[in-house]
Protein backbone atom coordinates (compact mmCIF):
# COMPACT_ATOMS: atom_id res chain seq x y z
CA UNK A 1 0.00 0.00 0.00
CA UNK A 2 1.71 3.07 -1.19
CA UNK A 3 -0.60 5.91 -0.15
CA UNK A 4 -3.52 6.81 2.07
CA UNK A 5 -5.75 9.70 1.13
CA UNK A 6 -9.14 11.31 1.59
CA UNK A 7 -11.51 12.86 -0.94
CA UNK A 8 -13.35 16.02 0.12
CA UNK A 9 -16.26 17.81 -1.56
CA UNK A 10 -15.07 21.37 -0.85
CA UNK A 11 -12.05 23.42 0.12
CA UNK A 12 -13.02 23.92 3.78
CA UNK A 13 -13.03 20.20 4.47
CA UNK A 14 -9.77 19.80 2.61
CA UNK A 15 -8.18 22.58 4.65
CA UNK A 16 -9.27 20.85 7.86
CA UNK A 17 -7.74 17.60 6.64
CA UNK A 18 -4.45 19.30 5.91
CA UNK A 19 -4.41 20.92 9.35
CA UNK A 20 -5.13 17.59 11.05
CA UNK A 21 -2.38 15.88 9.09
CA UNK A 22 0.05 18.54 10.19
CA UNK A 23 -1.11 18.05 13.79
CA UNK A 24 -0.45 14.31 13.35
CA UNK A 25 3.15 15.13 12.60
CA UNK A 26 3.26 14.91 8.80
CA UNK A 27 5.68 17.33 7.13
CA UNK A 28 4.25 19.76 4.57
CA UNK A 29 6.28 18.31 1.74
CA UNK A 30 4.88 14.83 2.40
CA UNK A 31 1.27 16.01 2.07
CA UNK A 32 -0.13 15.59 -1.45
CA UNK A 33 -2.99 17.88 -2.42
CA UNK A 34 -4.78 17.54 -5.77
CA UNK A 35 -7.62 19.67 -7.10
CA UNK A 36 -9.44 20.27 -10.39
CA UNK A 37 -8.95 24.00 -10.23
CA UNK A 38 -6.55 26.40 -8.54
CA UNK A 39 -7.78 26.92 -4.98
CA UNK A 40 -5.95 30.04 -4.02
CA UNK A 41 -8.66 31.23 -1.63
CA UNK A 42 -7.49 28.54 0.82
CA UNK A 43 -4.19 28.33 2.65
CA UNK A 44 -3.31 24.95 1.17
CA UNK A 45 -3.65 26.39 -2.30
CA UNK A 46 -1.00 28.96 -1.58
CA UNK A 47 1.93 26.58 -1.19
CA UNK A 48 4.81 26.33 -3.62
CA UNK A 49 4.23 29.80 -5.03
CA UNK A 50 7.94 30.47 -5.41
CA UNK A 51 9.15 30.20 -8.92
CA UNK A 52 12.12 31.30 -10.97
CA UNK A 53 10.02 31.37 -14.09
CA UNK A 54 10.13 35.14 -14.61
CA UNK A 55 13.90 35.10 -14.45
CA UNK A 56 14.10 32.19 -16.89
CA UNK A 57 11.73 33.93 -19.26
CA UNK A 58 13.79 37.11 -19.15
CA UNK A 59 16.93 35.12 -19.74
CA UNK A 60 15.26 33.39 -22.66
CA UNK A 61 14.35 36.78 -24.05
CA UNK A 62 17.96 37.92 -23.79
CA UNK A 63 19.10 34.80 -25.59
CA UNK A 64 16.58 35.51 -28.32
CA UNK A 65 17.76 39.08 -28.64
CA UNK A 66 21.36 37.94 -28.92
CA UNK A 67 20.37 35.37 -31.53
CA UNK A 68 18.56 38.03 -33.56
CA UNK A 69 21.47 40.43 -33.38
CA UNK A 70 24.00 37.72 -34.17
CA UNK A 71 22.00 36.37 -37.07
CA UNK A 72 21.46 39.71 -38.73
CA UNK A 73 24.92 41.14 -38.07
CA UNK A 74 26.88 38.05 -39.05
CA UNK A 75 24.89 37.33 -42.18
CA UNK A 76 24.73 40.90 -43.40
CA UNK A 77 28.41 41.61 -42.90
CA UNK A 78 29.70 38.32 -44.25
CA UNK A 79 28.44 39.18 -47.73
CA UNK A 80 27.62 42.87 -47.96
CA UNK A 81 25.00 43.27 -50.69
CA UNK A 82 23.91 46.78 -51.67
CA UNK A 83 20.12 47.02 -51.69
CA UNK A 84 18.65 50.43 -52.39
CA UNK A 85 21.61 52.22 -50.87
CA UNK A 86 20.75 51.04 -47.34
CA UNK A 87 23.70 50.57 -44.96
CA UNK A 88 25.13 47.08 -44.70
CA UNK A 89 23.87 46.69 -41.13
CA UNK A 90 20.77 48.89 -40.89
CA UNK A 91 19.46 49.19 -37.34
CA UNK A 92 15.79 49.92 -38.02
CA UNK A 93 14.95 46.77 -39.99
CA UNK A 94 17.19 44.53 -37.91
CA UNK A 95 15.51 45.68 -34.71
CA UNK A 96 12.31 44.13 -35.98
CA UNK A 97 13.87 40.70 -36.39
CA UNK A 98 15.62 41.06 -33.03
CA UNK A 99 12.34 41.96 -31.34
CA UNK A 100 10.55 38.91 -32.72
CA UNK A 101 13.29 36.54 -31.66
CA UNK A 102 13.42 38.14 -28.20
CA UNK A 103 9.73 37.47 -27.64
CA UNK A 104 10.04 33.96 -29.01
CA UNK A 105 12.89 33.28 -26.62
CA UNK A 106 10.89 34.53 -23.64
CA UNK A 107 7.84 32.46 -24.57
CA UNK A 108 9.80 29.27 -25.17
CA UNK A 109 11.78 29.73 -21.95
CA UNK A 110 8.58 30.12 -19.92
CA UNK A 111 7.03 26.99 -21.42
CA UNK A 112 10.23 24.99 -21.01
CA UNK A 113 10.44 26.01 -17.37
CA UNK A 114 6.84 24.92 -16.84
CA UNK A 115 7.35 21.54 -18.46
CA UNK A 116 10.62 20.76 -16.73
CA UNK A 117 9.69 21.99 -13.27
CA UNK A 118 6.08 20.90 -13.01
CA UNK A 119 5.00 18.52 -15.73
CA UNK A 120 7.63 15.86 -15.92
CA UNK A 121 6.69 12.90 -13.71
CA UNK A 122 8.67 12.74 -10.47
CA UNK A 123 9.53 9.53 -8.70
CA UNK A 124 7.66 9.08 -5.49
CA UNK A 125 4.88 11.47 -6.47
CA UNK A 126 2.36 9.47 -8.41
CA UNK A 127 -0.73 9.56 -6.18
CA UNK A 128 -3.89 10.23 -8.19
CA UNK A 129 -7.60 9.49 -8.16
CA UNK A 130 -9.85 10.14 -11.19
CA UNK A 131 -12.50 11.61 -8.89
CA UNK A 132 -10.29 14.69 -8.63
CA UNK A 133 -11.42 15.81 -12.08
CA UNK A 134 -15.06 15.56 -10.98
CA UNK A 135 -14.39 18.28 -8.42
CA UNK A 136 -13.25 16.31 -5.36
CA UNK A 137 -10.16 17.52 -3.54
CA UNK A 138 -7.60 14.89 -2.64
CA UNK A 139 -5.47 15.24 0.48
CA UNK A 140 -3.12 12.37 1.25
CA UNK A 141 0.25 11.00 2.22
CA UNK A 142 2.38 8.75 0.04
CA UNK A 143 4.31 5.85 1.57
CA UNK A 144 3.15 6.58 5.11
CA UNK A 145 4.60 3.53 6.78
CA UNK A 146 2.57 0.94 8.76
CA UNK A 147 3.09 2.60 12.15
CA UNK A 148 1.31 5.86 11.42
CA UNK A 149 -1.43 4.45 9.27
CA UNK A 150 -4.16 4.47 11.92
CA UNK A 151 -3.35 8.04 13.01
CA UNK A 152 -3.44 9.28 9.44
CA UNK A 153 -6.71 7.56 8.68
CA UNK A 154 -8.25 9.10 11.76
CA UNK A 155 -6.99 12.56 10.82
CA UNK A 156 -8.24 12.22 7.25
CA UNK A 157 -11.73 10.96 8.11
CA UNK A 158 -12.50 13.69 10.63
CA UNK A 159 -13.61 16.56 8.32
CA UNK A 160 -17.21 16.51 7.01
CA UNK A 161 -17.88 14.58 3.78
CA UNK A 162 -14.58 12.73 3.89
CA UNK A 163 -14.07 9.43 2.07
CA UNK A 164 -10.83 7.81 3.02
CA UNK A 165 -9.16 5.41 0.63
CA UNK A 166 -5.93 3.59 0.28
CA UNK A 167 -4.09 3.23 -2.98
CA UNK A 168 -2.35 -0.09 -3.69
Partner 1 sequence: MTPATGTRINDDLTRPLLLTSWRFYLLVAFFGAFVAAGLAAWFSQIFFGIGIAGIRWPVYWGFYVTNFVFWIGISHAGTLISAILRLVDAGWRRPVTRCAEVITVFALMIGALFPIIHLGRPWLAFWLFPYPSERLIWPNFRSPLVWDFFAINTYLTGSILFLLLPMIPDFAVVRDRSTGLRHRIYRLLALGWRGTPKQWHRLETAMQIMAIAILPVAVSVHTIVSFDFSMAPVPMWQSTIFGPYFVAGAIFSGIAALIIAMAALRRFLQLEEYLRPIHFDNLGKLLLMMALIWGYFVFNERLVTYYGNEPAEMTVFWRTQRQSFAPLHWTMIACNFLVPLVLMGIRRFRTIGGCVVASFAVIVGMWLERFLIIVPSLGAKYLPYSFGIYRPQPVEIIITAATFAAMGLLYVLFAKVIPIISIWELKAGEHTPSAAARALDEERLGKVRP
Partner 2 sequence: MPRWGMAADLDRCNGCGACVVACHAENNISTVGAAEAARGRAKHWIRVERYWEGEFPDVRLKFRPVMCQQCDSAPCEPVCPTYASHHTADGLNAQVYNRCIGTRYCANACPYNVRFFDFFNPSWDRPLQLQLNPDVSLRSVGVMEKCTFCVQRIRGAQIQAKAEGRELRDGEIQPACVQSCAPRALVFGDLQDPESEVSRLSRSARGAKLLEDVGTQPAVTYLAKQT
Binding site for partner 1 (CB under 8 A): 32-41, 44-49, 51, 53-54, 57, 61, 71-72, 75-76, 78-79, 81, 83, 86, 90, 93-94, 96-97, 99-101, 103-104, 106-108, 110-111, 113-115, 117-122, 125, 127-128, 130, 132-135
Measured at the alpha carbon of residue 153, what is the angle toward residues 149 and 157, in degrees to the nearest 5?
A: 175
CB–CB of 67/101 below 8 Å?
yes
Contacts with 165 (C-beta within 8 Å, 6 or more apart), sequence order: 4, 5, 6, 7, 129
Question: Shortest approach of partner 1 to residue 80 CB, angstroms?
Answer: 12
Burial of 138 (0-12, 13-18, 19+ CB in 10 A): buried
Q: Are 128 and 34 in contact (CB under 8 A)?
A: yes
Residue 150, interface with partner 2 (CB under 8 A)?
Answer: no
Tell me, residue by residue from 47 to 86, as one string, x for binding to partner 2 by CB under 8 A and - for no binding. Answer: ----------------------------------xxxxxx
* C-beta of 87 vs 135, nearer to partner 2: 87
Amino acid sequence: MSAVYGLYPDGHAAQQAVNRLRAAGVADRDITILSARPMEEFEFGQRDRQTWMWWFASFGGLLGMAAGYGLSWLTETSWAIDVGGLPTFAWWPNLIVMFELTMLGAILAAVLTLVVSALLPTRGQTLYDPEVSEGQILVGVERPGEARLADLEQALSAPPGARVKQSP
